[in-house]
Amino acid sequence: MEHPESTILYICPTCFRVCETEQECHEHQMTAEHQMFACNPGKLGDERRKPVSDRFGKYVSRAPRWFLEAAGWIED
């Protein structure tokens, strides 16, 4: 089975629902609907798939870099 060079996926920042196409989400009745984030997690083994660490090697987030970039919490 061949793996694509990179894949764009769409993820809801509230419930983490993942889709292959851009959609509005959040399924919870109390929350207004919003667009999902477009994410590019990179190739297998890409550094963007790892959690972000500081200059001392300690993790500053458990989330992978590609999610933090898509959310706008860090620059790509």
Give per-residue pLDDT as tens, 31-70: 556 778 889 988 888 988 999 999 999 999 999 999 888 8
pTM of the model: 0.69
pLDDT of residue 13: 80
What residues does 13 pair with on adjacent strands?
Answer: none
**In Å, how far from its chain's centre is CA 40?**
7
Tokens of 46: 């890409």
> How many CA atoms lie less than 13 Å away from 18 in the CB half-sphere?
7
pLDDT of residue 59: 92
**Residue 20 counted as domain residue:** yes
pLDDT tier for residue 74 given thresholds of 50, 70 and 90: confident
CA-CA-CA-CA dihedral for 59, 15, 74, 38, to nearest 10: 130
Q: How many domains does the chain have?
A: 1
- The range of the structural domain enclosing residue 21 comes to 9-71
**Residue 67 counted as domain residue:** yes
**Residue 54 counted as domain residue:** yes
What residues does 24 pair with on adjacent strands?
Answer: 35
pLDDT of residue 21: 86
pLDDT of residue 1: 41
